[in-house]
Structure 1
């Protein structure tokens, strides 16, 4: 199946980083998700109950990152992937986390992971 649900550029303000000063401020993380999802049922029914609710996913991702306050993007990515697979039944996903401004000469730095079976 090649269907997916996308969330791109979800901006989350949270505490993230390993340096002391980073633990005292919030910084922005940008989240991109490509989640495998069979869109045939919601395509036929036009009912959100049959779909992967991207608003609910976005709210849950935001809440998770704000509560987690990770030191590393890698930790945040693993926790989010596990959460999305367990709580929303996503079987496969590609998750990208970016931290704009972390390196002055770069627009952003980040990590990308793929989890689940294709």
Structure 2
């Protein structure tokens, strides 16, 4: 059985989007992470080395969002999933990218894309 570690509501500022003004001005993106990991080794040892250091992971995710602009949140979500799956302990990663200020000519509360990717076997 896989346990789940969640870090929700990570606010980042990025310059992603199809439109030039999105790349120029940037906007807030909110990231939710859910990672499939086996927490039993860490529970037994009480040692950070036996689990995912979510502080370091969040710093890496923020860096991934805040670098090199892309057009699509699909591309950004894959980039973030790739970062999450770098850890050997991560079996799978579910990444949600929220783009609450997407340029849509309507009243809405959020645009969100969720992807799930498996790690190495």
Moved over 2 A (4+): none
* Alignment correspondent of 2:87: 88
Q: How does 1:7-86 map to 2 (within 5 A)?
A: 7-85=7-85
Structure 1 counterpart SS, 2:111: strand
How many residues in Structure 1 have an aligned counterpart in Structure 2? Answer: 117
Structure 1 counterpart SS, 2:65: helix
Shift of the alpha carbon at 1:68?
2.8
Shift of the alpha carbon at 1:26?
2.0
TM-score, normalised relative to structure 2: 0.88
Q: In the alignment, which of 94, 104, 107 is matched to residue 105 of structure 1?
A: 107
Shift of the alpha carbon at 1:77?
0.8
TM-score, normalised relative to structure 1: 0.90
Deviates more, 1:87-96 or 1:29-38: 87-96
Deviation string 1:64-102 (CA, Å, 9 cap, x unpaired) is: 1111322110000112212221x2122212111000121
